[in-house]
């Protein structure tokens, strides 16, 4: 008898969301902080470690990388992907490191879920060495991601505002003025906030909807099988403008990236 073993949310994140949404950003963010061999890097809210793994390649065996995340399931997957990196439990608002420890601090698409974003920025700057570089990426506003805006409207129409709001959560920090305000509150008045284009790619509309339904941080557990079928049927029609010639779906998803250097 075959027994199906359900994937954990962290395994779903690594298998579905990392290649579709996050993997293509890692080289760009590593370039922004200008990593060199031998440097010490901290990846805050590292998830399953895609950005930490990329920075480890840049700093080489003479450097070191720490991946920090509050979710032990995420870190368990990260440890399997690269045991050589130091994976540590912790929160962005209370980093468990001494002052001036790292040459670079990076964070990719976790900032939106921090409880106190100004405190997190203050902490990330605290652990940077003088001259150390910071890069923090967040999803831009949902109205700059037309495909996701369509999906949010579908969820609102089919299941109500509560479900749609849960889906919109990753886009809630996509406001340059608010990000600048958080930076100023954190004592980083010279931080830059820049918009950069990005594209999310799934093999099909069904793959996209299935992945979003499984995401523990947005729709996970909110839709039953009948609701999922309704959403999939509606999405197959509404998301057709985003389907490519080979049947894949490509959605624009720009990011806002905070960069700063510690003086």
How does pLDDT run across 151-196, given as a tens digit for each residue? 999 999 999 999 999 999 999 999 999 999 999 999 999 999 999 9
CA distances from 102 to 134, 174, 206, 214 (A): 10, 27, 42, 35
**Which residues does the chain have with pLDDT short of 50?**
1-5
Instruction: Please give the pLDDT value at position 217.
Output: 78
Neighbour tally for 254: CB within 10 Å? 16
pLDDT value at position 221? Answer: 83
pTM for this entry: 0.93
Buried b / exposed e over 121-151, threshold 16 CB at 10 Å, is: bbbbbbbbeeebbbbbbbbbbbebbebbbbb
Distance, CA of 244 to chain centre: 24
Was domain 9-143+170-201+253-261 assigned CATH 3.10.150.10? no
What is d(CA 31, CA 226) in angstroms, rounded to the nearest whole number?
45
pLDDT at 187: 97
- The pLDDT, as a whole number, for residue 215 is 84
Residues pairing with 90 in the sheet: none
- The counts of H helices and E strands in the chain are 10, 9
Cβ atoms within 10 Å, residue 101: 16
Domain boundaries, the chain: 9-143+170-201+253-261
Q: To 10 degrees, the CA torsion angle through 101, 106, 109, 110?
A: 0
128 bridge partner residues: 102
* Cα separation, 118 vs 133, whole angstroms: 17
């Amino acid at each position: 008898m075959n027994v199906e073993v359900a994937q954990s949310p962290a395994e779903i994140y690594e298998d579905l969301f990392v290649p579709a949404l996050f993997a293509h950003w890692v080289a760009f963010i590593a370039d922004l902080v200008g990593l060199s061999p031998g440097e010490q890097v901290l990846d805050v809210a590292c998830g399953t470690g895609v950005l930490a793994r990329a920075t480890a390649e840049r700093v080489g065996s003479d450097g070191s990388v720490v991946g920090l995340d509050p979710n032990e399931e995420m870190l368990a997957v990260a440890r399997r992907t690269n045991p050589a990196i130091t994976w540590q439990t912790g929160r962005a608002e209370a980093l468990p490191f001494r002052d001036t420890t790292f040459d670079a601090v990076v964070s990719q698409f976790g900032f939106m879920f921090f409880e106190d974003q100004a405190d997190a920025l203050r902490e990330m700057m605290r652990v940077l060495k003088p001259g150390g570089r910071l890069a923090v990426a967040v999803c831009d506003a949902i109205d700059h991601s037309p495909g996701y805006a369509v999906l949010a409207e579908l969820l609102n129409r089919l299941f109500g505002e509560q479900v749609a709001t849960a889906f919109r959560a990753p886009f809630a920090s996509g406001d340059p003025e608010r990000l600048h305000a958080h930076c100023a509150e954190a004592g980083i008045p010279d931080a830059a906030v820049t918009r950069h284009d990005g594209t999310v790619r799934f093999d099909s509309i069904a793959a996209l909807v299935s992945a979003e339904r499984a995401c523990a941080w947005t729709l996970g557990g909110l839709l039953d099988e009948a609701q999922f079928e309704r959403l999939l049927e509606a999405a197959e029609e509404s998301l057709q403008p985003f389907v490519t010639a080979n049947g894949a779906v490509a959605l624009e998803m720009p990011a806002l990236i905070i960069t700063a250097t510690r003086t």
